[in-house]
Amino acid sequence: MDEQELVRQIQEGDEMAFAEVVKIYKDKIVNFLCKLTGDYQKAVDLSQETFMRVYFKAHKYRPVAPFSSWIYAIASNLAKTEMKKMRKYAVISLDEIQNSLHTEVSSQNPPDSGLKRNLKKALDSLHPRYRIPVILKDVEGFSQEEIAQILKRPLGTVKARINRGRNYLKMELEKATSVENSFVKKEEYQDGRA
């Protein structure tokens, strides 16, 4: 059954059609929101809110854009609102600090964990104005035209934001790499290996 038919059935109150939509999109939306917020539990909560809105606002959906664009637009808007709240009330629990310290001390990181860590840190520091389009394009695989529909922005704006976001990430990764390389060289020098 195609998505337009599922939407039509949801609009008529068919809960089985809604369950099918949730089954199709649940993991994708949670992963998308997790990348935006950096918090899995928050992503799960926001995805639940996303699907509640899909169900209760299905009557507002018009098939001018793909159904997936509509769902991602809802999720994106919820994530933007949540990220504004998070910036306004930046709170870190003591449990998080203890867990992160314990993890850093006790774990043996695989060789590429530095790149992953640096990329996550760079993505987290990227303003949502740029982070959302970059994730939609480079992680979720949407076209620039679809992203323009999801974000309700002109295509030129989306292209510029993706470009600026990628440039920022590149700059941050280069900075992190140069800092790590200088640290390694300093250790080698102190150990007499240089």
Q: What is the DSSP string of 4-61?
A: HHHHHHHHTT-HHHHHHHHHHHHHHHHHHHHHHHS-HHHHHHHHHHHHHHHHHTGGG-
Looking at the chain, the domain(s) classified CATH 1.10.1740.10 span: 1-91
Look at the chain and count its residues.
Answer: 194
Place of tokens 């150990």: 191
Instruction: Name the pTM for this structure.
Output: 0.63
Looking at the chain, the domain(s) classified CATH 1.10.10.10 span: 111-194
Q: What is the pLDDT of residue 105?
A: 44
Q: What's the token pair of residue 13?
A: 């109150």
- Right CATH number for 111-194 from 3.20.20.70, 3.40.50.300, 1.10.20.10, 1.10.10.10? 1.10.10.10
Q: What angle do CA 25, 31, 37 make, to 5 degrees?
A: 130
**Residue 85 is inside which H or E element, if any?**
helix 67-88
Q: What is the pLDDT of residue 92?
A: 47
Q: What is the pLDDT of residue 109?
A: 46
One-letter amino acid of 99: N
Torsion of CA 97, 102, 104, 108, to 10 degrees: -160
Check if CATH label 3.40.309.10 holds for domain 1-91.
no
- Splitting the chain (194 residues) into consecutive groups of 10 residues, what average pLDDT does each group show? 84 91 94 88 93 90 84 92 70 48 46 70 85 88 90 92 91 77 55 56
